[in-house]
Amino acid sequence: MHGCGGVRLPNPRQVRYTGERCKTGRTVMYRIPNLIVLALILTAVAGGGPARAAEDIAVAAGDRGGAYHALGRGLCRLLNRKTDALTCSLLPAPKGDAPESYSNLFNVHNGAAEFALAGSDWQHYATIGAGPVQYVSEKLDSLRSVFSLHAEPVTLLARRDAGIASVDDLKGKRVNIGRPRSKTRNAVDLILKSNGLSPADFALAEELTGKDQSLAFCHDRVQAIFIVGAHPNEAVEQVTKLCDGVVVDVSGHKIDALLGTTPHLAKASIRAGTYAGMSKPATTFGATMTVVTSRDVPDDVVYDFVKSVFDHLDELKKLHPALRDLDPAAMTRAGLTAPLHPGAKRFFTEQGLM
């Protein structure tokens, strides 16, 4: 529930407002007229009490115009159409340098939103205070898993004339490794380390943004680039269709060993035919988009949220092609490194998914 001027109130679940909200920046409770109280009493005596009011929830869903925001908007629309138990609104991420996933998780941790969309890697880092957030003073130990959604795999693209058929073939080539501290760079660092490579092994190691790397690829400044995200992906489509790029497997026993030590990452597959010239599936790995809440959100609210989504999973799959292969059983475990919220666990247990 929001307060004056659209500011999220710190404890929205503990207060129900019944009248005027704002006076000089303060929230003012308004007395319910005695006739309304009497009506409520008579209703309760006559037949089972008043109906439960819909719970107002917010989903922290990233910057406006981004993929996370679009998915959060679609999720809220689904909930608002299909359930009377919840009313859903979006809480955009604040502008700044922090990654969307981390901003979303922090908004759940501090009570500004009930649910958040975040990559499983950031869920893992935030929960244990490791990786990119190891020096952040506040550990987000209140986070609880709800369910996972689609994969956000690492995609390695190479120029067709570059002779790159595997990660090992990158040695001596011109490669964009991504901006420092970006999700692409984090993934590339893992790949290079697991394969015994470093940027010094490349003829050229660029640190371009996602937009700039596509241009450099098409002009043959770099021979290979990495893109992290769900499929189908517009950037991947552009370089495969317009610049003769090919999708290269990121797999093998070295990657398997990496995945054995990183529970927030998992194998992923890109369907054959997803992009121009792609006659067979591509094998890779990556994080998973997850839905996260806080231990402070009541069990019934989380239960209603999960039930509303799983009861209308067919509609959810239509929101984006990346969601078309959602599997209910996988959604209960893939990338969920934070403890599972009891409300979600109750629903999964009832449905025989755990």
**Domain residue limits, the chain:** 4-46, 55-150+290-350, 152-287
pLDDT value at residue 2: 42
Mean pLDDT of the chain: 84
pLDDT at 52: 54
CATH number for domain 152-287, candidates 3.90.800.10, 3.40.190.10, 3.90.1150.10, 3.40.630.30: 3.40.190.10
pLDDT score at 96: 65
Q: How far apart are CA 146 and CA 339, in angstroms?
A: 9
State yes or no: pLDDT of 145 exceeds 50: yes
Closest CA to 157 of 236, 79, 247, 95: 247
Report residue 327 as tokens: 């599997």
Same fold, 55-150+290-350 and 152-287: yes
Q: What is the pLDDT of residue 97?
A: 65
Residues in Cβ contact with 177 at an 8 Å cutoff, skipping those fewer than 6 apart: 184, 185, 188, 189, 192, 199, 202, 205, 206, 207, 226
Is residue 36 over pLDDT 90? no
Residue 246, both tokens: 């090919």
What was the pLDDT predicted at 69?
87
Which of 9-13, 28-32, 160-164 is modeled with the greatest confidence?
Answer: 160-164
Q: Could you give the angle at the alpha carbon of 214 between the alpha carbons of 217 and 206, nearest 5°?
A: 65
Over 80: is that where the pLDDT of 173 sits?
yes
Per-residue confidence at 128, pLDDT binned at 50, 70, 90? confident
If you average pLDDT over each of 178-192, 264-278, 335-349, which comes out highest?
335-349
Whether 76 shows a pLDDT value over 50: the answer reads: yes
Residues linked to residue 90 through DSSP beta bridges, in sequence order: 59
What predicted TM-score, i.e. pTM, was given to this entire model? 0.77
What was the pLDDT predicted at 163? 95
Plot region of 252 (φ>0 → left; ψ -120 to 50 → alpha; else → beta): left
Query: What's the average model confidence in pLDDT over 113-118?
Result: 95
Q: Which CATH number fits domain 55-150+290-350: 3.40.190.10, 3.40.50.720, 3.90.79.10, 3.30.2040.10?
A: 3.40.190.10
- As a whole number, mean pLDDT of residues 257-262 equals 92
pLDDT tens digits for 178-218?
Answer: 998 888 998 999 999 999 999 999 999 999 998 899 999 99
